[in-house]
Amino acid sequence: MAVKRNKSRKATHKVTLPGLTPLQKSLLDEAGRKVTIASEGRQQEVSIEQVVTRKLLQVAANGSVHALSNAVNEIILAQRINQREIDEDVEFGNRLKTHQQKLLDRASSEGKDPNTVLPHPDDIEVIPGVGFKVHGPWDEAELKIVLSNCARRDLYILQAALEERLLGPEMVTDEPSSEASKGGSAMLMAQFFNHGLPDRFEKSNIEIIMDLSRLGRLTKRELLKATYAAWASLGRPKPRGWVTPPFQEARAQMELLADGCAELLRDSLASKVSSDRDIADRLQRLFRRVRR
């Protein structure tokens, strides 16, 4: 005998949680904030969420939990929405990495430049419970900047090889010393540009040593010619035999540049600087200060 179905029963629709509201985002941030409290005669660092939970249990023991339970319910709802967004980011990161790997495999089989695949799958880091990050260029514009900094790094390695030939090995170092203060700072600048590159483009210390060893086999004339041509190719020609400033002077300039960039970042996050023109003006003033 056929089973009769209740036609009045409607299918249950899947409930889709909305995105986090600004208030809920602030609530999550505040719930995770650490505070120091005195408990059982000693100082403890706990989250606001833990403080609320303790207070809830205390008030529940006294028979009134309405206000605190509402706060806990809001926190739980916000956490559910936040976790859903995190899960979506992780899923998207995995799909993006897989898709980009297929594109890279196809480009390699066709003999194309791997840098045509952006973002590169090796630059995509999927972090369970957090989301994903891209530690490299997203597009051709960002790739151009990265490759430009790679060229500057390699130029300073070449410059360091020249300065070692001109000034002697004891004058070329990336560590401060009384003798280094008289010589050039090319290796310091090479390390500065190298450490600022994405992991995939950064050279290891062994690779830099191998570069210096290879360049060390060139004659002084060849080093002078190659260095002169390299500076000219970047649009910053230098006199033949030019050497970089002493270590202490270069370090002071780099510290000034780093402090200025950090201040610009803080002002940008605080909306004190917003337009591209304002940012460009600040950077130009900073570079002029560094070059003095």
What is the amino acid identity at position 27?
L
Q: Is the pTM of this model over 0.75?
A: no
Local confidence band at 291 (pLDDT 50, 70, 90 cut-offs): low
Confidence of residue 48 (pLDDT cuts 50, 70, 90): confident
Say what the pLDDT of residue 183 is. Answer: 59
Question: How distant is the alpha carbon of residue 173 from its chain centre?
Answer: 27
Beta-bridge partner residues of 6 = none
d(CA 137, CA 123): 8
Amino acid 12: pLDDT? 44
Report which listed range, 112-116, 177-181, 269-273, is most confident: 112-116
Q: Give CA–CA dist 141/191, Å, rounded.
A: 23
- How far is it, in rounded angstroms, from Cα 10 to Cα 216? 81
pLDDT digits (tens, 9 = 90+) for 204-257: 999 999 999 999 999 999 999 999 999 999 899 999 999 998 888 888 887 887
119: cis peptide before it, omega within 30°? yes
| End-to-end CA gap in the chain | 96
125 strand-pairing partners: 133
Of the pLDDT bands very low, low, confident and very high (cuts 50, 70, 90), residue 77 is confident
How would residue 67 be classed by pLDDT, with cut points 50, 70 and 90?
A: low
What's the pLDDT tens digit per position in 209-221?
999 999 999 999 9
